[in-house]
A = this chain, B = another copy of it.
């Protein structure tokens, strides 16, 4: 986890921009990008609602695109930036793809699964570091749900 703070913030901002695209389409704002040798090789946002598909988390789409780009399912030299702590499925995908470092923004106290690693049996270990641009990332999520609650209240009033 030797990345500079400037680089971490730079790449997390790319993920944040992706997250904003998800929100615009009505999806929970989570964005991700895959970085290899300091270059962004894939970026993606959550499309679960849009595509009605529970698989299509930002991390899964970004890893798929990165594999396509590198023509390999082994992403050992790649780091993943994601605005929200990955869930069990995405942690499994990260390990399966052998991602090197994972930098995430906001912590997911409900479904975050990065601590599941302790007991994992995969033949690869990814390093996880949370809290990169945490405020920006968590505000994205909280604003999204606040807007949903408010628009429901407005509907009930009318």
A64 contact set on B, CB distance < 8 A = 53, 55-56
Judge whether A54 and B93 touch: CB under 8 Å. yes
A92 contact set on B, CB distance < 8 A = 87-92, 113
In whole Å, how far is A67's beta carbon from the nearest beta carbon of chain B?
Answer: 4
Interface residues of A in 65-86 (CB under 8 A from B): 67-68, 71-75
A22 close to B (CB within 8 Å)? no
Interface size classification for chain A: 35 or more
| Copies of this chain assembled into the complex | 2
A73 contact set on B, CB distance < 8 A = 48-49, 52-54
Expressed in whole angstroms, the Cα–Cα distance for A106 and B95 within the complex equals: 22
Judge whether A67 and B54 touch: CB under 8 Å. yes
Expressed in whole angstroms, the Cα–Cα distance for A122 and B110 within the complex equals: 8
A127 close to B (CB within 8 Å)? no
CB 8 Å contact bits of A115-131 with B (1 = contact, 0 = none)? 01001111000000000
A111 interface neighbour in B67, B88, B121, Cβ under 8 Å? B121
**A-to-B contact residues, CB < 8 Å:** 48-49, 51-56, 60, 63-64, 67-68, 71-75, 87-93, 95-98, 110-111, 113, 116, 119-122
19 A–B pairs (Cβ distance < 8 Å), ordered by A: A48-B73, A52-B71, A53-B67, A54-B73, A54-B93, A54-B96, A55-B63, A55-B97, A88-B88, A88-B92, A88-B95, A88-B96, A88-B120, A89-B91, A89-B92, A89-B95, A89-B96, A111-B121, A116-B119
